[in-house]
Amino acid sequence: MAGLGYSDARRQTAAAAGEALAQGQGPAKAARAAITATDSFFDRVRVALKLDEQLANQACAAGCSWCCHQIVAITAAELDLVAEAIAAKPPKARAAIAARAREAAAKGAGLDQRQWWAARIRCPLLEDDGLCGIHESRPLPCRAHNSADAGACRRSFEGEAVRTPVLAAQQGVWAHAQTGLAEALAQAGQSAMGLNLALAVDELLKG
């Protein structure tokens, strides 16, 4: 399938984000352009690889949030997009996010991914109803997560050594897309440093 490899996802996302940056649209819009380009790319992958049945069998659904308890590594552009979504919320909701971010930072600073997961640290953007509070603006790694077995996700969250069945194509496309976004940022002389979403939100909202 010419033009549908992971490196193509990286290249196309880098091009879309790079164009937004070249037009002076700023990092948040570059992140949005990267997301739009990757959505479109994955749609082509879905058709080419006939993934509809596998996607229909995904267990991921609104309110299921086991995976929202791990370190989400993001670029500064994704943080800008998240920041815009937080800023658009009413003061009470922003204060709740800030409190959860403070708690996550207090528990999680210095932990690696395995330790963070074991500590069951909740993403500060995760609302009490199990929904992502910034769903439309969620970072690229959050769009990569998928599972065909929510029970396996729960058991893993509870500490059992269990493998979660995932759709590798979805994970791979979004992971390479984030690399493309980082490349576009670096090319434009902007920070492409990997940030921990929860800790970055804490820094952002510190009074």
Which residues contact ligand SF4 by CB under 6 A? 68, 72, 123, 125-126, 132, 134, 138, 142
Nearer to ligand SF4 by Cβ, of 65 and 179: the residue is: 65
Residue 63 and residue 129 in contact, taking contact as beta carbons nearer than 8 Å? yes
Tokens of 23: 């037009």
Of the two residues 123 and 153, which places its CB atom closer to ligand SF4 in the complex? 123
CB of 183 to ligand SF4, least distance (A): 22
User: Smallest distance, Å, CB 1 to ligand SF4?
Assistant: 29
The DSSP annotation for 144-190 comes to H---S-HHHHHHHHTT---PPP--HHHHHHHHHHHHHHHHHHHHTT-
Pick 51 or 64: Cβ nearer ligand SF4 = 64
- Rounded to a whole number of angstroms, the minimum distance from the CB of residue 200 to ligand SF4 is 11
Closer by beta carbon to ligand SF4, 8 or else 144? 144
Nearest distance from C-beta of residue 133 to ligand SF4, angstroms: 7
Nearest 10 degrees: CA dihedral of 23, 201, 121, 135?
-50
Structural tokens at position 113: 């991914």
Quick one: which of 68, 125, 136 has its CA closest to 101? 125
